[in-house]
Chains A and B, each alone.
Chain A
Amino acid sequence: MLRGVLPKRLTLVEVVLWALRIGVVVFVIVGAYATLSQNKLGASGWVLLTTSGLSQGAIYALIALGYTMVYGVLFMINFAHGEVFMMGSFAGMFVAMAMSANGILEDQPLLALPVIFAAAMITSMLVAIVLERVAYRPLRRAPRLVPLITAIGASLFLQYTAFGMFGPRARRYPPVELLQGRVDLFGFSFQRIELITIIACVVLMAVLYWFVERTRTGRSMRAVSENKDVAALMGINVDRVVVTTFAIGGLLAGFAGVLFSFLFNRVSWDMGLLVGIKAFTAAVLGGIGNIVGAMLGGVALGVIENVGPSLLLLGFDVPSSHQLKDVLAFTVLILVLVFRPTGFLGRKDNV
Chain B
Amino acid sequence: MGRVLGKRTRHAVGIGLVAGIVVIYLVMVGLANAFAQRPAITGIGVESGPGLLTLGRVMIGGAFFLAGLAVGSRFLGPQDRRERLLAVVGGSALTGAVGGASLGAFMLFAATVPMSDIFLPVTQGAVSFLAFGNPPEIGAIAWILIGTLTASAAGALALLQKRDRSAVLNGIAFTLLVSLIEPILRPILGQVGLREVTAFLYSGGGLTQHAAVFLFAGVVIASWAWERPAAPVRMRMRQMPQANRRRAGLAFAVLAIVGLLVLPQISTGFVNQVLVNVGFFLMLALGLNIVVGYAGLLDLGYVAFYAVGAYTMALLTAPTSSLGGPLTDLGGVEYGFWLALPVVIIVAALVGIFIGAPVLRLRGDYLAIVTLGFGEIARFLLRSEAMRDSLGGPAGVVGIPNMHIPFVGTELVSAGEYFYPVVGFAAIAAYVAWRLSNSRTGRAWNAMREDETVAAATGINVTNYKLLAFALGGTLGGLAGGLFAVQLRSVYPDSFLLIISFTALAIIIMGGMGTIKGVVAGALILVGLPEALREFGEYRYLLYGAALVAMMILRPEGFFPSRIRRAELHEDIEREEEPQLPESHGGPPAETTRGVAVPDTPR
Contact = CB atoms under 8 A, between A and B. Distances in A.
20 contacts: A17-B358, A138-B553, A145-B296, A145-B364, A148-B365, A149-B298, A152-B502, A152-B548, A154-B545, A156-B502, A156-B542, A157-B546, A160-B545, A163-B542, A164-B538, A165-B119, A323-B384, A330-B376, A333-B369, A337-B362
Interface stretch (A8-16, A41-49, A105-113): A8-16
A141 B576 CA distance: 7
Interface in A293-351: 313, 318-321, 323-324, 326-327, 330-331, 333-334, 337-338, 341, 351
Kindly name the residue among B25, B380, B569 whose own CB sees the greatest number of chain A CB atoms within 10 A: B380
A150 B546 CA distance: 9
A167 B120 contact: yes
B181 interface: no
A153 B549 contact: yes
A64 to B, nearest CB: 13
B366 A341 contact: yes
Nearest to A157: B545
Contacts of A165: 28-30, 118-121
B386 A320 contact: yes
B391 to A, nearest CB: 13
Contacts of A16: 354, 357-358
Contacts of A163: 538, 542
A159 interface: yes
Chain B interface size, as a band, is: 35 or more
Contact of B118 (A135, A147, A166): A166
A149 B548 contact: yes
Interface in A248-295: 273, 277, 280, 284
A163 B119 CA distance: 10
Given A145-B365, A321-B386, A324-B380, A12 B542 contact: no
Interface string B18-49: 00000001001111000000000000000000
B552 A319 contact: no
A143 interface: yes
Contacts of A168: 538
A11 B463 contact: yes
Nearest to A75: B365
B313 to A, nearest CB: 23
A12 B467 CA distance: 11
A142 interface: yes
Given A138-B553, A152-B505, A324 B364 contact: no
B388 interface: yes
A133 to B, nearest CB: 12
Nearest to A71: B365
Kindly name the residue among B118, B368, B509, B552 whose own CB sees the greatest number of chain A CB atoms within 10 A: B552
A135 B498 CA distance: 22
A153 B544 contact: yes
A320 B502 CA distance: 30
A94 interface: yes
B218 interface: no
A20 interface: yes
A277 B376 contact: yes
A202 interface: no
A328 to B, nearest CB: 9
Nearest to B366: A337
A76 interface: yes
Contacts of A68: none
Interface in B98-132: 117-121
A165 to B, nearest CB: 5
A148 B370 CA distance: 14
A143 B450 CA distance: 11
Given A143-B572, A273-B498, A150 B542 contact: no
**In the A-B complex, the 3 residue pairs with the closest CB atoms:** A153-B548, A156-B545, A157-B545
B360 interface: yes
A148 B386 contact: no
B377 A150 contact: no
Given A77-B365, A148-B365, A157 B549 contact: yes
A146 interface: yes
Interface of B: 25, 28-31, 117-121, 296, 298, 300, 354, 357-360, 362-366, 368-370, 372-374, 376-377, 380-381, 383-386, 388, 463, 498-499, 502, 505-506, 509, 538-539, 541-542, 544-549, 552-553, 556, 569, 572-573, 576-577
A301 to B, nearest CB: 13
B377 A330 contact: yes
Interface residues of A, number: 61
Contacts of B506: 153
Given A16-B358, A77-B365, A135-B549, 9 more contacts: A11-B463, A139-B553, A150-B548, A154-B549, A163-B538, A164-B538, A166-B120, A326-B380, A333-B373
Interface string A154-191: 11111111011111100000000000000000000000
Nearest to A280: B369
Interface string A122-142: 000000000000110011011
A277 B119 CA distance: 27
A97 interface: yes
Contacts of A341: 362, 366
A143 B571 CA distance: 10
A17 B380 contact: no
Contact of B539 (A13, A153, A164, A337): A164
A284 B362 CA distance: 13
Kindly name the residue among B117, B300, B463, B542 whose own CB sees the greatest number of chain A CB atoms within 10 A: B542
A149 B506 CA distance: 9
A142 B366 CA distance: 17
Contacts of A219: none
Nearest to A158: B545
A142 B358 contact: no
A280 to B, nearest CB: 7
A94 B359 CA distance: 43
A333 B363 contact: no
A148 B556 CA distance: 12
Nearest to B544: A156
Contacts of B383: 323
B372 A277 contact: yes
B17 to A, nearest CB: 15
Contacts of A156: 499, 502, 541-542, 544-545, 548
A144 interface: yes
Contacts of A94: 117-118
A318 B546 CA distance: 42
Contacts of A155: 545
Contacts of B576: 141-142
A164 B374 contact: no
A208 B549 CA distance: 31
A331 B545 contact: no
Contacts of A337: 359, 362, 366, 369-370
A20 B354 CA distance: 11
Contacts of B374: 330, 334
B468 to A, nearest CB: 12
A324 B384 contact: yes
Contact of B553 (A20, A135, A143, A327): A135
A164 B572 contact: no
B344 to A, nearest CB: 22
Kindly name the residue among A146, A154, A157, A321 whose own CB sees the greatest number of chain B CB atoms within 10 A: A157
B386 A164 contact: no
B443 to A, nearest CB: 20
Contacts of A146: 552, 556
Contacts of A313: 386
A159 B360 CA distance: 31
A138 B362 CA distance: 26
Contacts of B538: 160, 163-164, 168
A13 B357 contact: yes
A326 B117 CA distance: 33
Contacts of B362: 337-338, 341
Nearest to B384: A323
B298 A148 contact: yes
